[in-house]
Chains A and B, each alone.
Chain A
């Protein structure tokens, strides 16, 4: 498993969960791998995997049923969508705009490219 140094490992694990949910590989209410299984899958310290689960729990994406394991919550998809949209507008878009400015790329140029592609 290869991790980027630009983000804490536990947040890269939560991103993996978000991807699974956004691509509907994991549906709302689904049973998901255990902390240990995730640690093995990701080749990380079990405490790091646990921290990722805590983060997901705090964000209401997964819940723990004692003795049964972790589940995707009933409204996880909508929550992940909100979370990731916010991240897109707050972090990804500003840095994209900054780069566009540097390269003198106008919104019109982008629009033309986008519409010609989607037609």
Chain B
């Protein structure tokens, strides 16, 4: 559905932020886009949505280049930025103005989500708190029924019950014909929602695997300090070493520690990928 080929991008004269990046996103998945601060996650989402143009390479949705900003493309994607301004109008007016772009816009879904979030659409948008405005846009984004939803840190600014409600709303979505790409640092908020983990580092996608594959090929265990076990990555903690070990079993008995996995990919990029690619070290 989304296809990015050999993409490079740089802001004015600086060194390229994104370099020869390739990425394919298929319908049916919820993808977590992770990366350190400044890695270019938001920039990538802005390129995908057509707000920024690639310096080199292509980014296309359903075969159409997103930089052309054709109506066919714009109505099939929705980006929820981390920061945004909303005009001095009511939520209902905003919906009346913006929803006609989206042919499958579902007002009923929008109202249901607003009700769950306790956001009143008859109120002025810019007089409400950041969290309330964000929830309004989350409701709008899901009601568009666009095939690609881009969420940039969607849980930032949401209160504790709203985060839980957000997960429930995402869990209830029919994903057959759509994909969600979520850029986040909050793996504790969203770890249970994603089925693919994508890591952006040094301008490239250095890791892109399904959680099923991760669960099958890695074992997350706490091992003794003096244990001779050969681990791929480890962090010392009070109770021993939190380690990622190679696994070759069909069925894993442990869960995935996403924070540990993320650190391992950032610090031992090659070693982790070699294991997944079956290269023995």
Please classify the interface of chain A as helix (H, G, I), strand (E, B), loop, or mixed, using the class held by over half of its residues.
helix
Q: A3-B192, A9-B192 are in contact. Are A43 and B254 (CB under 8 A)?
A: no
Return the CB mask of B207-229 against A: 1 if under 8 Å, else 0. Answer: 00001100100001000000000
A52 to B222, CA, bound (A): 25
5 cross-chain pairs, A with B, having the tightest CB-CB distances, nearest first: A43-B167, A39-B171, A5-B255, A44-B192, A40-B171
Query: Which interface residue of B171, B254, B256 has the most chain A CB atoms within 10 A?
Result: B171
Q: A43-B167, A43-B168, A45-B30 are in contact. Are A8 and B195 (CB under 8 A)?
A: no
A108 to B253, CA, bound (A): 33
B193 contacts partner chain A, Cβ-Cβ < 8 Å: yes
Known: A36-B171, A45-B194. 9 other contacts (CB 8 A): A4-B255, A5-B254, A5-B256, A7-B255, A8-B252, A8-B253, A39-B172, A43-B168, A43-B193
Closest residue to B192 on the A side, CB-wise?
A44
Return the CB mask of B234-256 against A: 1 if under 8 Å, else 0. Answer: 00000000000000000011111
A57 contacts partner chain B, Cβ-Cβ < 8 Å: no
Please give the residue numbers on chain B whose beta carbons come within 8 Å of chain A beta carbons, in ascending order: 30, 164, 167-168, 171-173, 175, 192-195, 211-212, 215, 220, 252-257
With a cutoff of 8 Å between Cβ atoms, the chain A residues found around residue B172 in the complex are 36, 39-40
16 contacts between A and B (CB under 8 A): A1-B167, A3-B255, A5-B256, A7-B255, A8-B255, A8-B256, A12-B255, A39-B172, A43-B164, A43-B192, A43-B193, A44-B192, A45-B192, A46-B173, A47-B195, A48-B192
A100 CB to nearest chain B CB (Å): 19
A23 contacts partner chain B, Cβ-Cβ < 8 Å: no
Query: In the complex the two chains form, is B255's CB within 8 Å of A43's CB?
Result: no
A8 to B168, CA, bound (A): 19
Closest residue to A38 on the B side, CB-wise?
B171
Closest residue to B171 on the A side, CB-wise?
A39
A8 to B164, CA, bound (A): 20
